[in-house]
Amino acid sequence: MTLTTKIRPTSVFLVSGGAKGITAKCAIKLAQHHPCKFILIGRSELLDKEPDWAKDCFDEPILKKRIMEYLLSLGEKPMPMNVQKLYNKIISNREIKQTLEAIQQVGGDAEYLSVDVTNGDDLKQRLASVVERTGPITGIIHGAGNLADKLIEKKTEQDFEKVYTAKVKGLENLLSCVKPNQLEYLVLFSSVTGFYGNIGQTDYAIANEILNKSAHLVKQRYPECHVVAINWGGWESGMVTPELKKEFARRGIDILPVEVGTQMLVNELHPINQGTAQVVIGSPLIPPPAPLNPELQTYRIRRKLSLEANPFLLDHVIGGKPVLPATCAVSWIVNSCEELYPGYRLFNYTDFKVLKGIYFTETLANEYILDLQETAKTDSQEIIFQAKIWSKTPEGKINYHFSIDHVHLVRELPNRPTYESLNLAEDNIITITGRDFYQKTTPSFFPLFHGISFQELTGVLNISSEKITTECIWQGITEQQQGQFPIRWLNPYLIDLSTHPLWIWMQHFHQEICLPASIQKYEQYAETPSHTPFYVSCEVKGKTATSVVADFIVHDAQGQIYSRLLGGKGVIIPTQSLKSNS
């Protein structure tokens, strides 16, 4: 069955806040795709004609000078506030006319009505005569809104009313002007602030979240109506000032280009999206961190572990026993540190040790304890922790499982460095590829024991006595599979995959295998993508009868580094100890 839009040339959209700013840009884009009728409403006055002193003057300093001269001619003192007020009136008038002309140029029909959407009686009365000309309203786009950003303790009742009524009372008034059974589209311009929250915008968040819930409610009552609350992020224009854009960039918040955002509105009104009542288009508004308490803190975090809660463990079985990967122990430590200090991220950790692995057998402890000790912190820059994971036996004996001497969180990560020894040339010495690394046993190769959660190493590009270079693609696993060790900034499953090249190097040159024992240093500059090829250059730094040490550099095809694991030590074990898995 072909899906067809309900928007026809006779359709009539009532658009609040639609003559200026982002809402106006959206109305123009909608008219380009669906030339129909638009009633644009706003509080600004539309002048029949500009004053003579403003005609053909588009330079701000010159126009303001003319305004000053005009006020002086009236015998008034040209106070800056009065000059700005007249200037805004002229610019507003021009923008409204430009919007009306732009809609007409693409084949639509538009008229402007100067009315306050929060005044229900006036809105109904003024709309009545317009609807006689346009025909019944079949769609509403509610884009009107106000801001009064302040910390909650500084907000006044007037601030709240200004922000709340434009969104919520405005929606009530718009809906009261249209018979529900004739409404085919209801588009509410909400905000990521309502979805995620934001400092200084409690009133704005409340108002927008009410719009979100209203969309779901209207959709339930009138399922034939195409209802959507769009939780917009920051736009390149509109309420996002140059200063705010700079702050967003510092905090890693994406800004939505006007051309992209307006097209996304049109896409949301496609019939295929008719069942979606709420959508988020934009980055979370990550708040800046609160000032650090200079006192160094300690934390104790308790966790019960189980095989059932962590399905990925069935893909990490050694000698017939599910074993917690060392990378998952690290992710528990790092995630806990980052959750204590939102806005800070791991840059590196040093001196990680595997002391006694965690086996999901009868030896599994009743609970595992993570102890964190802050050792240094500098406000708005860095925080450093020491960490240990331990448990007690039923007899009360303490077992230490993992430790990190130095977990380093920062506010801003350094730029990604380039791997200077990049070599992606293919030598074809090792012909095994893809899943065969994990499944195929040959006289000279014992396969990796890892299951699907930790695969796959797709191929060896080149190998020498000092180095192996591989291509990998991690396909991702579900949140349910991740269990108690979710992917955040660190991806423990992909990091484990990044160490597999050493296994291949060990077997190729020494017919031996190893398991992780310690890491001298780990650094992360960016998230390694899933479902996309990445490369691991493994440099072997030393080999003895019982151990091997290597550096692992994870990078893209151009050598831009995602992360590097330096001084990774593996303990050599007999191949026989893993054969119960094969």
435-456 average pLDDT score? 79
Q: Are residues 135 and 270 in the same domain?
A: yes
pLDDT tens across 306-323, in order? Answer: 999 999 999 999 888 999
- Average the pLDDT over each of 361-370, 442-451, 520-529 and give the range with the smallest value: 442-451
Residue 30: name the closest of 46, 41, 45, 14 by CA: 14
Q: Are residues 34 and 115 in the same domain?
A: yes
Q: Are residues 268 and 347 in the same domain?
A: no
pLDDT tens across 414-439, in order? Answer: 999 999 999 999 998 888 887 778 87
Q: Are residues 310 and 457 in the same domain?
A: no
Q: Are residues 540 and 508 in the same domain?
A: yes
pLDDT tens across 79-138, in order? Answer: 999 999 999 999 999 999 999 999 999 999 999 999 999 999 999 999 999 999 999 999
- Average the pLDDT over each of 155-159, 253-257, 305-309, 406-410 and give the range with the smallest value: 253-257
| 150 has pLDDT over 80 | yes
* pLDDT for position 59: 92
pLDDT tens across 206-248, in order? Answer: 999 999 999 999 999 999 999 999 999 888 875 566 666 666 6
Classify residue 261: in a domain, yes or no: yes
* pLDDT for position 502: 95
Q: Please, are residues 222 and 183 in contact by the beta-carbon 8 Å criterion?
A: yes
Task: Read off the pLDDT band of 456 (50, 70, 90).
Answer: confident
* pLDDT for position 444: 64
Show the DSSP H helices in 399-489 as ranges.
436-439, 479-482
Q: Tokens 């995602």, residue?
A: 562
| 16 has pLDDT over 60 | yes
* Whole-number CA gyration radius for the chain: 31
| Domain at 359, CATH number | 3.10.129.10
For the beta carbon of residue 576, count every other beta carbon within 10 angstroms.
Answer: 9
Could you give the angle at the alpha carbon of 44 between the alpha carbons of 23 and 94, nearest 5°? 75
Q: Which of 410, 426, 445 is the last residue of a domain?
A: 410
Q: Are residues 576 and 497 in the same domain?
A: yes
Q: Which of 233, 256, 281 is the last residue of a domain?
A: 281
Mean pLDDT, the chain, whole residue set: 91
Residue 137: name the closest of 176, 169, 164 by CA: 176
Classify residue 510: in a domain, yes or no: yes
Number of domains into which the chain is organized:
3
Q: How far apart are CA 325 and CA 332, in angstroms?
A: 11
| 466 has pLDDT over 50 | yes
Q: Are residues 443 and 525 in the same domain?
A: yes
Q: Are residues 449 and 374 in the same domain?
A: no
| Domain at 442, CATH number | 3.10.129.120
The b-or-e profile of 460-497 (16+ CB within 10 A means b, else e) is bbbbeeebbbbbbbbeebeeebbbebebeebbbbbbbb
Element spanning 470, H or E: strand 467-472
* pLDDT for position 491: 96
Structural domain including 258 reads 12-45+105-281
DSSP letter at 398 equals: E
| 408 has pLDDT over 50 | yes
Classify residue 375: in a domain, yes or no: yes
Q: Are residues 254 and 163 in the same domain?
A: yes
pLDDT tens across 510-529, in order? Answer: 988 899 999 999 999 999 99
| Domain at 148, CATH number | 3.40.50.720
More confident of the two residues 381 and 555 = 555
Classify residue 66: in a domain, yes or no: no
Q: Are residues 304 and 453 in the same domain?
A: no
For the beta carbon of residue 167, count every other beta carbon within 10 angstroms.
Answer: 29
Classify residue 370: in a domain, yes or no: yes
- Average the pLDDT over each of 63-72, 168-177, 242-251, 351-360 and give the range with the smallest value: 242-251
Q: Which of 215, 248, 281 is the last residue of a domain?
A: 281
| 582 has pLDDT over 50 | no
Q: Are residues 224 and 159 in the same domain?
A: yes
Classify residue 81: in a domain, yes or no: no
Q: Are residues 220 and 257 in the same domain?
A: yes
The pairs formed by 127-130 with CB atoms below 8 angstroms and a separation of 24 or more are 127/14, 127/39, 127/177, 130/39
* pLDDT for position 1: 44
List Cα–Cα distances, 404 to 327, 370, 522, 547, in angstroms: 12, 11, 11, 20
Classify residue 308: in a domain, yes or no: yes
436-459 average pLDDT score? 80
75-81 average pLDDT score? 90
| 479 has pLDDT over 70 | yes
* pLDDT for position 249: 65
* pLDDT for position 242: 67
SS3 39: strand
Q: Any residues with CB less than 8 A from the CB of 550 and at least 6 apart, and which?
A: 502, 505, 538, 539, 540, 541, 568, 570
Classify residue 265: in a domain, yes or no: yes
- Average the pLDDT over each of 3-12, 85-94, 490-499, 547-556 and give the range with the smallest value: 3-12
The two three-digit tokens of residue 48, written as one number = 């029949």
The b-or-e profile of 8-30 (16+ CB within 10 A means b, else e) is eeebbbbbbbbbbbbbbbbbbbb
* pLDDT for position 288: 64
| 350 has pLDDT over 70 | yes
